[in-house]
């Protein structure tokens, strides 16, 4: 990004994993339009090209000013390595403000460094709660929100969570969902990318389902994985399933025999536009991802979330999402296929393509 004079206040953005990039893109653009000097750090938490680099290309994100290249590792190793490198960076060049996104290890690492150095922090996607502390992301959300100076919420329920936790209301702004800004900005392109989005490459025709799985609770336990694979095989008995395989999930799913089913089509992780095109053309999605619950809500695609809880309940009340168990998945798939795609559905307030602009306004108000 463009160099700024030493005396110019600089806003730093920290991204690290695939879900961060479509959230950051509209915020970077909106702040640039207001004339703010910015720097972008990519921690390298996701380092596969289709997990990160291709997102920068497709979303026209600026080349990161710094790539920490931390790679894989345990939560402690990832978080600690990122903290060490960010502390060195920001001790030498102090930001006016740091903006973090979502709930990944990069997010909480940056939050702890800014707190120790006395640097103001803004958290995009503040206030989301699953109330399940067995999820590493829930711990990351709680810590980041506690340390943030500006809490930028995507939904009304998130604002309510922060109020109940005693956060000063003056620090909380309901801005909408910047990831939806990115989706809506590329909505008209999705059909053009569907040829690269796998149905034809997998020899499919007609209806298909998309599945994504990576949560430790689903893929790291042999018992849970066995039930999950049985459920997905029962789903594939009803409709072909296309599964972009997350690197951390591939080994377990292969050993459990999922890909032996002729109707399960495993593919490498896809780029942003290719994946959304695949989802947009599907009959339904089976997932344990947070962001996909939001994207299907806007696209009007039935979404079956294999989790006992969600930090995004607004996608159930104002969207197309529902929570299911592995045992109940086959019946839920049958019902979704019978019902078809909805003709009309509710979308949460302020998921309108202008969240980035509202975030830029809130950030500018804090700094000025």
**Cα separation of 130 and 212, whole Å?**
19
Query: What is the residue-level pLDDT of the chain in tens, covering all 368 positions?
Result: 655 555 689 999 999 888 899 999 999 999 999 999 999 999 986 655 555 677 888 888 888 999 998 877 888 999 999 999 999 999 999 999 999 999 999 999 999 999 999 999 999 999 999 999 999 999 999 999 999 999 999 999 999 999 999 999 999 999 999 999 999 999 998 876 554 545 545 567 789 999 998 887 787 788 888 999 999 999 999 999 999 887 777 888 888 899 999 999 888 888 899 899 999 999 999 999 999 999 999 999 999 999 999 999 999 999 999 999 999 999 999 999 999 999 999 999 999 999 999 999 999 999 98
**Cα separation of 96 and 108, whole Å?**
18
How far is residue 153 from each of residues 172, 176, 310, measured CA to CA in Å? 7, 7, 16
* Span 252-268, pLDDT tens digits: 888 889 999 999 988 88
The Cα diameter of the chain in Å comes to 63
Q: What are phi and psi of 17, to 5 degrees?
A: -135, 160
Neighbours of 263 (CB within 10 A): 17
**Cα separation of 138 and 120, whole Å?**
22
Q: What are phi and psi of 26, to 5 degrees?
A: -70, -25
Q: CA triplet 261, 241, 259: central angle to 5 degrees?
A: 30
* Span 218-277, pLDDT tens digits: 877 888 889 999 999 999 999 999 998 877 778 888 888 999 999 998 888 888 998 999
| pLDDT attached to residue 195 | 44
pTM: 0.93
Active site annotation includes 193: no
Give exposure, 334-357, as e/b (b: 16+ Cβ within 10 Å): eebbeeeeeeeeebbebbebbbbb
Cβ atoms 290, 315 nearer than 8 A: no
| pLDDT attached to residue 172 | 98
Domains of the chain: 10-177+351-367 (3.40.50.2000), 187-339 (3.40.50.2000)
Options 186, 214, 261, 354, the catalytic residue: 214
């Amino acid at each position: 990004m463009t160099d700024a004079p030493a005396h110019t206040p600089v806003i730093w953005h920290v991204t690290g994993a695939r879900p961060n990039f479509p959230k950051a893109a509209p915020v970077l653009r909106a702040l640039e339009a207001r004339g703010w000097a910015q720097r972008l750090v990519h921690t390298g938490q996701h380092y596969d090209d289709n997990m990160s680099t291709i997102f920068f290309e497709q979303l026209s994100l600026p080349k990161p000013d710094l790539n920490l290249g931390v790679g894989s590792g345990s939560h402690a190793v990832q978080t600690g390595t990122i903290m060490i490198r960010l502390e060195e960076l920001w001790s030498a060049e102090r930001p006016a403000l740091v903006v973090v996104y979502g709930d990944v290890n990069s997010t909480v690492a940056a939050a702890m460094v800014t707190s120790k150095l006395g640097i103001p922090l803004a958290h995009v996607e503040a206030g989301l709660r699953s109330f399940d502390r067995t999820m590493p992301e829930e711990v990351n959300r709680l810590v980041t929100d506690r340390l943030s100076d500006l809490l930028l919420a995507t939904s009304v329920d998130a604002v309510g969570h922060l109020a109940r936790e005693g956060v000063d209301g003056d620090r909380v702004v309901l801005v909408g969902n910047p990831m939806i800004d990115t989706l809506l900005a590329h909505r008209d392109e999705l059909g053009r990318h569907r040829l690269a989005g796998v149905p034809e490459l997998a020899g499919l025709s007609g209806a298909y389902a998309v599945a994504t799985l990576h949560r430790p609770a689903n893929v790291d336990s042999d018992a849970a994985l066995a039930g999950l694979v049985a459920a997905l095989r029962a789903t594939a008995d009803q409709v072909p399933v296309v599964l972009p395989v997350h690197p951390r999930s591939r080994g377990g799913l292969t050993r459990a025999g999922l890909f032996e089913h002729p109707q399960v089509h495993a593919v490498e992780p896809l780029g942003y536009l290719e994946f959304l095109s695949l989802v947009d053309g599907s009959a339904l999605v089976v997932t344990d991802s947070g962001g996909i619950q939001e994207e299907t809500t806007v696209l009007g695609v039935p979404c079956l979330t294999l989790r006992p809880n969600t930090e995004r309940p607004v996608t159930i009340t104002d969207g197309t999402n529902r929570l299911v168990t592995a045992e109940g998945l086959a019946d839920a798939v049958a019902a979704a296929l019978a019902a078809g795609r909805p003709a009309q559905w509710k979308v949460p307030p302020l998921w309108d393509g202008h969240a980035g602009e509202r975030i830029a306004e809130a950030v500018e108000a804090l700094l000025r």
